Copies of this chain bind each other. A is one copy, B any other.
Amino acid sequence: MHADIDTTSHAIVRVARSHRAAAERLLRSSGLHAGQELLMMHLWDNGPQPQSALIELLGLDASTVTRAVQRLEQSGFVRRVRSETDRRAVIVQPTAAGQALRDQVSQAWKELEDLTLAGLTEPDRAELARLLALVERNLT
């Protein structure tokens, strides 16, 4: 039997791919791509932020965030402003169009969560959350 196929690692890879695909599908109508919604959520929750804060919060590479923000600006969801107090820094703020996405994206995110966990009992969900947290700690 194909030992490699039954590993948890492989399961993680497959789940990650399907999950991303589902996210992409649910976000399509909003105009966001999977990944961008997390950035926007941080802006909605915490207001305008320097990119450095987003990088920290999202745990992504600086270059990844730079380009994500560039694309969000291109799409009109975000504005980039040079900080007055630190002229290296860029402050990212949601535009009106960006703010307008909030409810729709929250809804899509909720649907994604529902889809992901469909059929799992409450204890199963808690267990999954616990185990994923352990795995995350292992890999970080």
Sorting the interface of chain A by its residue count into under 10, 10 to 19, 20 to 34 or 35 or more gives 35 or more
* A4/B41 in contact, CB under 8 A: yes
Task: Select A8's contact among B9, B14, B125, beta carbons within 8 Å.
Answer: B125
Question: How far is it, in angstroms, between the C-alpha of A14 and the C-alpha of B119 when the chains are bound?
Answer: 23
A4-B41, A127-B131 as given contacts; A18 in contact with B115, CB under 8 Å: no
**Cβ of A23 to closest chain B Cβ, rounded Å:** 7
Question: How far is it, in angstroms, between the C-alpha of A124 and the C-alpha of B131 when the chains are bound?
Answer: 7
* A10/B38 in contact, CB under 8 A: yes
**A residues at B contact (CB < 8 Å):** 2, 4, 7-23, 38, 41-42, 45, 59, 106, 109, 112-113, 115-120, 124-125, 127-129, 131-136, 138-140
